[in-house]
Structure 1
Amino acid sequence: MTATLYNRDILRLAASIPHQRRLDAPQASVERRSPVCGSRVIVDVVLDDDGRVAALGQEVKACALGQASASLMGANALGRDQAELSEARDALAQYLAGERDDPGQWPGLDIFRPARSFKARHPSILLAFEAVAEAAARATR
């Protein structure tokens, strides 16, 4: 069971989280925790004049699945606007819940296919995407 979840690709992503430092002067910061496993992610953002992520920082204290998700989010968040980040969050949540067959347009999220049947793991996988979408929304206000 867990061998399927924690495969080599997940562990590789978990070990290579980009932007893993807090920003000195973020426009918005959001912390998300999973009550199920205790995973925690803090995301800082700075948006450019067009409302796109110009700088990203994150602090990740999560299981390998949460770390892998933060890695995929961090690798592709720069240049995205709040609508794109919210769309990615929603698509991932729907994918994990079995409400759609694909994880959307965000690169690499299909790696979580084996986790779909492990509902207790979904909150940790969603943390980084929830945090970055909310941070971008707060920064645009």
Structure 2
Amino acid sequence: MNAPLYNKDILRLAASIPHHQRLADPQATVEKRSPTCGSRVTADVRMEAGRVADLGLDVKACALGQASAALMAAQAIGMSAEELTEARDKLTDYLSGRSDNLDFWPGLAVLAPARGYPARHASIRLGFEAIAEAARMADA
């Protein structure tokens, strides 16, 4: 916990969330909210051939939640629901201390300082949870 919780890389990510516009015709929409802080992420997804073809987000979260959603959204297009669910689960394992691996998703190392702040974990997971669930619903 020597690194600052909010640094310029996190703030830069928070200000540049890709796909930060809701879809007009999603196949599935999922909203996730953190009961701890009230952060919220809504994900709209369209799938083609079992892969995310289009994504739209509405993110109302702290900088950590925004940064995490930005990292997820930057890589989600072209991924399957299974791959997104696996990434969600690995993020949860990392934050809870069950794993030390962050290599499963590009850029997540920027969020490493937040691991020691459990009250922030729910917000960090929101983007991963919403996109993975929406992809799973759209693919069903």
TM range (shorter): over 0.9
The alpha carbon displacement at 1:111 in A equals 1.3
Look up the equivalent residue of 1:10 and give its one-letter code.
I
Q: Secondary structure at the match of 1:22?
A: coil
- Structure 1 CA distance for aligned equivalents of residues 103 and 136 of structure 2: 20
Poorly superposed stretches of 4+, deviation over 3 Å: none
* Aligned residue number for residue 56 of structure 2: 57
User: Unmatched 5+ residue regions in structure 1?
Assistant: none
Q: For the residues of structure 1 that align with 2:103 and 2:91, how far apart are their CA atoms?
A: 7
Q: How does 1:29-40 map to 2 (within 5 A)?
A: 29-40=29-40
Aligned partners of 1:102 and 1:110 also within 8 Å: no
Count of equivalent residues: 140
Gaps of 5+ in 2: none
Report what 1:122 is aligned to: 121
Residue number in structure 2 paired with 1:72: 71
**Letter matched to residue 83 of structure 1:** E
TM-score relative to the length of structure 1: 0.96
Bigger Cα displacement from structure 2, 33-42 vs 100-109: 100-109
Distance in 2, Cα, partners of 1:34 & 1:110: 22
Conserved? CA contact 1:51–1:140, under 8 Å: yes
- Greater alpha carbon shift after TM alignment, 62-71 vs 96-105: 96-105
Residue 109 (1) aligns with residue 98 (2): no
The C-alpha deviation readout for 1:45-83, integer Å capped at 9, x for no partner, is 0001x2100000000000000000111011110000001
Q: What letter is aligned with 2:21?
A: R
For the aligned residues, what is the CA RMSD?
1.4
Please give the alpha-carbon distance, in whole angstroms, between the structure 1 residues aligned to 2:111 and 2:9. 10
Q: CA deviation at 1:34?
A: 0.4
